[in-house]
Amino acid sequence: MMAAVCQQRRVLVEIPAPQPKMAGRIRRSYLEALSPRLAPSPLLRARNSKRAQSLDLSIGGMCEDKLDEKTPLNTQQLVQLIRSLILVEQSKESRAAPADLKTLQDDLQQKKANVYRSIPYSRFGSNRDAHCYRKAYPHLLAFRVSCEERGHVLLRNQDWDNALEHSLLAWRYTSELPQWDTADHNALREQCYAVLAAHSLAALRHYRPDASRGRELLRRLSMARLHSQSIVPCIEELQRVIQRADDSTIDK
């Protein structure tokens, strides 16, 4: 009796032998034979393949982006990137020069605000040191590129008066940019002054303002001289324009 009970217990705990694995080809054919609905249609297979390709491409793009993020951009690549973004933004607008200078002024004001917003003020030391400059550098570069590209648009459309007005507005905002502790870090400010002076000189060589407008521009250009001597050729050119206008009036 006791032997029979032990034999039954051995039967209960006995582990069955593992079943042989079914080959993938046989299993697929078995499932397809069992239910034809399980077999994907050609259209569904095409969709799945396209979805898989798009998923691979997206994953590959994400991987490339992550690799690109690890690789720092040099100055030339950063300039090209910002210039590309500005050109894309300008391509959405009209090719004609914007008649409303308020839009250009708002753009300069926003970029100047971005510079100051990027500077960390919760520091025990100076907030004009090299560390803060590195934080603000991309926004300073965006400010300079904006001055350059917007001025080129106005000159390309031969809108001389607005080109001069934009240069004077940008000159004032440039003077309000932060002064850095290291002299080399103020190079972008001087580059902005040089670009704006070149735009003003190019406009004055084609622009013939009347007497009142000429005196107003001369006064504002003389005030801009307090910030940088780059404006001196523009003052001399405007003085020649005014002198020629006065001489022609006397001859009449």
Q: Output the pLDDT for position 36.
A: 46
What is the Cβ-side half-sphere exposure of residue 22, based on CA atoms within 13 angstroms? 8
Residues in the chain: 252
Mean pLDDT score, 7-32: 51
| 167: pLDDT strictly greater than 70 | yes
The set of residues, in sequence order, having a beta carbon less than 8 Å from that of 213 and lying 6+ positions away, is: 161
Give dist(CA 209, CA 160) in Å, integer.
10
| 16: pLDDT strictly greater than 50 | yes
What is the Cβ-side half-sphere exposure of residue 131, based on CA atoms within 13 angstroms? 8
Q: What is the pLDDT of residues 224-235, one digit of tens each?
A: 999 999 999 999
Domain residue ranges in the chain: 75-84+103-208
Q: Is 35 helix (H, G, I), strand (E, B) or coil?
A: coil
Are the beta carbons of 233 and 194 closer than 8 angstroms?
no
Q: What is the pLDDT of residues 185-223, one digit of tens each?
A: 999 999 999 999 999 999 999 999 988 999 999 999 999
Residue 95, token pair as written in the block:
């090719």
- CATH node for 75-84+103-208: 1.20.58.1590
Give dist(CA 249, CA 240) in Å, integer.
14
Q: Output the pLDDT for position 71.
A: 59
**Overall pTM surpassing 0.75 (yes/no):** no
- Average pLDDT taken over every residue of the chain: 76
Q: What is the pLDDT of residues 54-104, one digit of tens each?
A: 444 444 444 344 334 455 667 766 766 776 666 556 545 544 445 578 899
Q: What is the pLDDT of residues 127-150, one digit of tens each?
A: 899 989 999 999 999 999 999 999
